Amino acid sequence: MKKMNNKMKGFYDDDWWLDYLENEVDSLMKKKMDVSLGVSLIDRRTFKGLEKFRKLIKNSDEVVLPEDLSVYDKLHEKIMDAVEDVDGEIADKNSETRLLFVAKSRQRATLREDS
């Protein structure tokens, strides 16, 4: 009996039900699959199985963000301090480039005058 059940198929396979679960089917297909959910026990099982499995993975998440809000304030401050330094370096580089450009232009002008 178990074997027979395993061999039974619904109207749609796992890939379709996964698309359905992820809202990746168009509205027409969704309507068709909604009907299937209502009439096919196999399809319902397939879909529910995927839905539960996805939830199970989601619940296995080990990452917990720090609750202490000061962590984010400090991080923000650290980032903006570093950005300020970088911005200063960029400005210095730009002014160096500008100065170099002016110097080179003057040099070219002098060379032209000399020739």
Task: Based on the shown chain and the rule CB under 8 A, indicate whether residue 98 belongs to the binding site for other proteins.
Answer: no
Task: Based on the shown chain and the rule CB under 8 A, indicate whether residue 113 belongs to the binding site for other proteins.
Answer: no
> Which region among 1-9, 29-37, 84-92, 99-107 touches other proteins (by CB under 8 A)?
84-92
Closest to other proteins by CB, 27 or 60: 60
How many angstroms separate the CA atoms of 16 and 21, rounded?
9
How many angstroms separate the CA atoms of 32 and 41, rounded?
15
- Listing DSSP states for the chain in one string gives -HHHHHH---SS-HHHHHHHHTT-S-HHHHHHHHHHHHH-HHHHHHHHHHHHHHHHHHHT--------THHHHHHHHHHHHHHHHHHHHHHHHHHHHHHHHHHHHHHHHHHHHH-
Task: Based on the shown chain and the rule CB under 8 A, indicate whether residue 82 belongs to the binding site for other proteins.
Answer: yes
> Which region among 25-33, 38-46, 50-58, 101-109 touches other proteins (by CB under 8 A)?
50-58
Rounded to a whole number of angstroms, the minimum distance from the CB of residue 60 to other proteins is 4
Task: Based on the shown chain and the rule CB under 8 A, indicate whether residue 87 belongs to the binding site for other proteins.
Answer: yes
Query: What residues make contact with other proteins under the rule CB under 8 A?
Result: 14-15, 18, 22, 24, 48, 50-67, 72, 75-76, 78-80, 82-84, 86-87, 90
